[in-house]
Structure 1
Amino acid sequence: MISTSAAWLAIFLFAGTMTYAGIKDVATMTISNRLVLALAVSFAVLAPAAGLGVATISSSILIGSGILICTFALFSLGWIGGGDAKLLPVAVLWLGSDLALDFILYTAVIGAALTLALLQFRRMPLPVVLQKKAWSARLHAPETGIPYGAAMAPAALLLLPESHWFPALL
C-alpha cells in the first residue's frame, strides 16, 4: 500500500512542480533553487517508498549527474540559464535513465517551437494591454533569453506515463 500511495504522490508532485516551474519561468525568467532542491529531495524520499529498485534509482542518479555536468558546461558558456541547467537533470532524475534521451529530444523540439514563437512575438509591437504587465514586457524584450522551463514542463508531462513511476502502481 505504501508503494502505491508513494507512487501516486510522486506522480502528482512531479507533474505539479514541473508545471509550476514552466509557468514561473515564463513569468519571471527564473527557476528557483528551492524548487529544484525540493524535487531532488522528494525523489530521494519517494523513489524507495514507491518501490523503485536500487538499480533504477542508481541509474537515474548516474545519468542525472552526467547531465548536470553537461548543463553546467552549457551554462558556463552562456548558452542556457542556471535554472535550466539545474531543472533538466533533476527532471531526468525523476523520469529515469531510460527516458533521458527522449526527454532531451522532446525538450529540444518544444524549445525550438517556443523559440520560433517568441522570435515572432518579439518582432510584433507589444499590445497595449500587455505593456503594463512586467512578465510580458520582459518576455517581449529582444535581449531576454528563452524560458526553457516552459519547454521542459510539457516534455516531462508527455513522458511521465512512460516512466518508472507507473509500473510501481501495478
Structure 2
Amino acid sequence: MLEAVILVVFPFCMAFAAVSDLLSMTIANRVSLLLLVAFAVAAPMIGMDWQQIGMHVAAGFLILSVTFVLFAVGGMGGGDAKLLAATAVWFGFSPALIQYLLGAAILGGALTLLIISFRNSFLGYISGNNVFLRNLADHNTGVPYGIALGLSGLAAYPETPLMQWALARLAGL
C-alpha cells in the first residue's frame, strides 16, 4: 500500500501542476500541501530517521527562501515557488535535487523561448481563443513554468529516497 502511495502521489501532483499551469496559469496550494502531507506520512514509514527527515525539510525551506525572494521581485509565480519547495522536500539534499533544479531551469528556458516564438507567430495569433493554447498565445501572461517543474520533477523522481525504497520493495516481492 505504501509503495502505491509513493508511486502515485508525487507523479500525479507533478502532472496535475503542469496541466493546471498550462490551462489556468495557476498551481493550486492543495498540490503543494498534498506533497508535504504525503512526504510527512511516508518518510517515517519507510524508515527515515528524524535527522534525515529534518534534512529533507531543510532542503524545502532553503528552496522556499530562494523562491520567495524571486516571487517578491516578480521573477516567479507564487504557485511555482511553493511547488518547488514542496518538491524539494521529496528530494532532500541529494544529487536528484540538483538534477531537478537544473532540469527545471533548462526546460523552463527552452519553454520560455518556444512560447515567445509562438506568441510572435501567426499560429499564436489565431489560437488566442483555444482553451489549451490561449495562455501560451497571450502576450500579457507569464510563462506556465509549472510545465517545466512537472516534467523535470518526473524525470528526477526515480532518484529520490522514497522512490528508491518503493522500487526496492517491489523488486523484492
The TM-score with structure 1 as length reference comes to: 0.89
Matched residue SS, 1:165: helix
State the alpha-carbon separation in 2 of the partners of residues 104 and 128 from structure 1.
Answer: 32
State the alpha-carbon separation in 1 of the partners of residues 163 and 16 from structure 2.
Answer: 22
| From 71, 74, 81, the counterpart of 1:78 | 74
State the alpha-carbon separation in 2 of the partners of residues 131 and 78 from structure 1.
Answer: 25
Q: Which has the higher contact order (CA 8 A, sep 6+)?
A: 1
| From 30, 33, 52, the counterpart of 1:34 | 30
Aligned pair count? 166
The gaps in structure 2 that reach 5 residues or longer are 169-173
State the alpha-carbon separation in 2 of the partners of residues 53 and 168 from structure 1.
Answer: 14
Given the superposition, is the C-alpha separation of residues 76 and 128 from structure 1 closer, same or farther in structure 2, using an over 3 Å criterion? closer
Question: 1:68·1:85 contact (CA, 8 Å) conserved in 2?
Answer: yes
State the alpha-carbon separation in 1 of the partners of residues 7 and 21 from structure 2.
Answer: 21
Task: Report the equivalent of 1:151.
Answer: 148
Measured after TM superposition, the shift of residue 38 of structure 1 is: 1.6
Q: AA paired with 1:143?
A: N
Deviates more, 1:79-88 or 1:45-54: 45-54
Deviates more, 1:7-16 or 1:107-116: 7-16
| From 18, 25, 32, the counterpart of 1:22 | 18
The gaps in structure 1 that reach 5 residues or longer are none
State the alpha-carbon separation in 2 of the partners of residues 53 and 156 from structure 1.
Answer: 24
Deviates more, 1:40-49 or 1:67-76: 40-49
Given the superposition, is the C-alpha separation of residues 27 and 118 from structure 1 closer, same or farther in structure 2, using an over 3 Å criterion? same
Question: 2:124·2:137 contact (CA, 8 Å) conserved in 1?
Answer: no
Deviates more, 1:68-77 or 1:158-167: 158-167
Q: AA paired with 1:108?
A: A
Question: 1:72·1:85 contact (CA, 8 Å) conserved in 2?
Answer: yes
Question: 1:95·1:163 contact (CA, 8 Å) conserved in 2?
Answer: yes
Task: Summarize the alignment of residues 14-163 of structure 1 with structure 2, pairs less than 5 Å apart.
Answer: 14-98=10-94, 99-126=96-123, 130-163=127-160
Question: 2:100·2:152 contact (CA, 8 Å) conserved in 1?
Answer: yes
State the alpha-carbon separation in 2 of the partners of residues 125 and 141 from structure 1.
Answer: 13
State the alpha-carbon separation in 2 of the partners of residues 127 and 62 from structure 1.
Answer: 42
| From 165, 168, 172, the counterpart of 1:168 | 165
Root mean square deviation of aligned Cα: 1.7
State the alpha-carbon separation in 2 of the partners of residues 127 and 142 from structure 1.
Answer: 10
Given the superposition, is the C-alpha separation of residues 117 and 128 from structure 1 closer, same or farther in structure 2, using an over 3 Å criterion? closer
